[in-house]
Amino acid sequence: MGEQAFEFGLIGVYFMKLLPTLRLTLLIVVGSIAVGLIAGTLAALPRLYRVPILQRVSQVYVSFFRGTPILIQLFLFYYGLPELVEPLGLDLSRTPALAFVVLAYGLHSGAFISEAIRAAVTAVDRGQVEAAYAVGMSGPQALRRIVLPQALVIAVPVLGNLVIANLKDTSLAFTLGVMELTGKAQTLGLLAQHFLEAYLSLAALYFIISWGLERLFLWWERSLLRKQGVAALPRLGRLGRQALMRRFAQEARLGREGASG
């Protein structure tokens, strides 16, 4: 049985068949980002506050998840974790693969999220904190009222990239037998021997979700900036700086119009 001739119409059919599976993929994304936000915050704190031993632990955690392929991490969690906890009297053999997937992706994202949090908080000008202290605020008050709102604006675009990367990474979950989008597409392609059509509709679906997420985060960033009077942002990466220059140019234009009007 060889591969069938290309049928354009099948793309739409597969697309519709894939849609119900989207729920599972999004569940993995939402679940792992939630785990990642918690893990990322916990990992960022000791490094921001330079807590002696925990700082090291957090560094090792981040290095491990950044330095090894996500596929290997999935295998390690799925096959390794049950072995690891067995001596402790915990039986994970009945735990659904989905739980391992969410945990692995969550900790993976957490490593990157912790770096994003750390970078954003450190990027807030030291003078802002000093001004907060000078008016009499305590450390936590300064963090909550002055530093975090400014750090959030810096972190949102990075966070957006991480969520999109996470979405695409979930395409590996089928290797553990979780029937998310990619797994479903493969099955569909296999059944009718129309792989290309299946993968095209799969690509379209990922692209649409990614694009939607991109717009969503852009909108979030803009609305934060608007609320903060297009505050100037310090120290960003190259892409961030380019975006910033565009924004400054726009701001300058608005300023001129305001001045002449």
Give contact residues for another protein (rule: CB under 8 A). Answer: 125, 127-128, 130-138, 141, 145-146, 149-150, 153, 227-232, 251, 255
Cβ of 76: how many Cβ atoms within 10 Å? Answer: 15
Least distance between another protein and beta carbon 253 (Å): 13
- Among residues 68, 60, 67, 28, which one has the least CA distance to residue 43? 60
Nearest-approach distance from CB 159 to another protein, in angstroms? 18
CA distance 211 to 209: 5
Shortest Cβ 121–another protein spacing (Å) = 14
Q: Which is nearer to another protein, 132 or 200 (CB)?
A: 132
CA dihedral 152, 157, 162, 168 (to 10 degrees): 150
Q: How far is the CB of 95 from another protein (least distance, A)?
A: 44
* Closest CB 239 distance from another protein, rounded Å: 21
> Which one, 94 or 226, has the nearer CB to another protein?
226
Q: Please identify, using beta-carbon distances, which residue of 4 and 138 lies nearer to another protein.
A: 138
CB of 176 to another protein, least distance (A): 44
Q: How far is the CB of 73 from another protein (least distance, A)?
A: 37
Measured from the CB atom, the residue of 196 and 224 that comes closer to another protein is 224
Which residue's CB is nearer to another protein, number 215 or number 227? 227
**Of 28 and 117, which CB lies nearer to another protein in the complex structure?**
117
Nearest to 145 by CA among 159, 131, 155, 160: 131
Cα 89-92-93 angle, rounded to 5 deg: 115
Q: Are 42 and 61 in contact (CB under 8 A)?
A: no
Q: Which is nearer to another protein, 195 or 220 (CB)?
A: 220
Contact 58, 228 (CB under 8 A): no
Cα separation of 56 and 229, whole Å?
A: 38
CA distance 117 to 37: 10
